[in-house]
Homo-oligomer: A and B are copies of this chain.
Amino acid sequence: MNFSEYFPIWDQLAPGQREALSGSLVSRAVKKGTVLHGGGTDCTGLLLVKSGQLRAFILSKEGREVTLYRLFDRDLCLFSASCMMRSIQFDITITAEKDSELWIIPADVYKRLMEQSAAAANYTNEIMAARFSEVMWLIEQIMWNRMDRRVAAFLLEESAIEGARRLSITHETIANHLGTHREVVTRMLRYLQSEGMVKLSRSTVELLDEKKLTALRDM
């Protein structure tokens, strides 16, 4: 597949803009676990996911994590190129959650494109608005939702992403997604198990009753 098929506004760009863009692309294949962006760097470039799965999260001083959003095929990550907009005043970390293939677009090339092309700038606006919406959802979850519902929501989402009811995941990893402590997750999972919604075994969580989990999530 070509880059043009992954970049929805390709047809709206002028020939010179297309050349500048495709001439600057770096293709990269990364293993699961690779840290793609983070730790004070601000000009990694924009990441366009060809295949695989990335995770964007924030880190506290003490090393606690909370997942902001995931990126899948065709998603474009702006915040790994925060140097291109002076109003982006926060740091996120991005890692590959699965083996992934990406294109990296240099921040300066993309910035120039946005300045020249209203289509590119508006496309970027839509992407930022979509991430903003995910982060607003997260705030609502953190503020108003009890942890048992957040664990239920996470398990259902994870199961949908993996297309599997049996998830290989540790309590520690779930805690890092949700920004809480392992002990809290263990307590919640045991509660869900006692209600017959999941079955726990070593490093796996099996979803037994998705209907009940969904009801809990949407309560």
Which A residues have a C-beta under 8 Å from some C-beta of B? 58, 60-62, 64, 66, 85-90, 114-118, 120-122, 124-133, 135-140, 142-144, 179
Q: Is the CB of A89 within 8 A of B133?
A: yes
Q: Is the CB of A60 within 8 A of B140?
A: yes
**Complex: A125 Cα to B120 Cα, angstroms:** 11
* 28 A-B contact pairs sorted by A residue (CB < 8 Å): A58-B139, A58-B140, A60-B140, A66-B139, A85-B129, A87-B126, A87-B129, A87-B133, A88-B129, A88-B133, A89-B130, A89-B136, A90-B132, A90-B133, A114-B118, A114-B121, A118-B118, A118-B121, A121-B124, A124-B125, A125-B125, A128-B128, A135-B135, A135-B139, A138-B139, A142-B142, A142-B143, A143-B179
Q: A58-B139, A87-B132, A88-B132 are in contact. List 7 more A-B contacts (CB 8 A).
A: A66-B139, A89-B133, A89-B136, A90-B133, A124-B125, A125-B128, A139-B139
Which chain B residue lies CB-closest to A123? Answer: B121
**A interface secondary structure, majority:** helix
* Copies of this chain in the oligomer: 2
Q: Which of B60, B85, B129, B140 is in CB contact (< 8 Å) with A143? A: B60
Shortest distance in angstroms between A66's beta carbon and chain B's nearest beta carbon? 6
Residues of B within 8 A of A64 (CB): 143-144
Residues of B within 8 A of A66 (CB): 139, 143
Q: Which of B88, B126, B143 is in CB contact (< 8 Å) with A86? A: B126
Residues of B within 8 A of A144 (CB): 60-62, 64
Residues of B within 8 A of A129 (CB): 85, 87-88, 128
Shortest distance in angstroms between A62's beta carbon and chain B's nearest beta carbon? 7
Q: Is the CB of A136 within 8 A of B62?
A: no
